Amino acid sequence: MLSPPYYYSLSQGAFLGCLERFVPKLPLPLYLYDMPTYTKLSIAPETVRAAADIPNLYGLKDSSGARCEFRETMRG
């Protein structure tokens, strides 16, 4: 599991850039973890869709409670 860092606020673009650089280098499959209450960043549907093209990224655990955003993510 990977979530945005809680100690440093990132934009959607900066978070996606980090994913693009680091995820392909990891030895294990990775899932994004959206928990904005603790990380200060809700992973936007557009970011999830863009991240879906990154090798080694397999899914999303959504603990945001934002049902509309989750539905939007799933539509993409």
Reply yes or no on whether 61 is catalytic: yes
Nearest to 14 by CA among 50, 59, 38: 50
Which residue among 6, 33, 38, 58 is the active-site one? 33
Among the options 31, 38, 40, 61, which is catalytic?
61
Tokens 């960043």, residue located: 41
Catalytically annotated residues: 33, 61
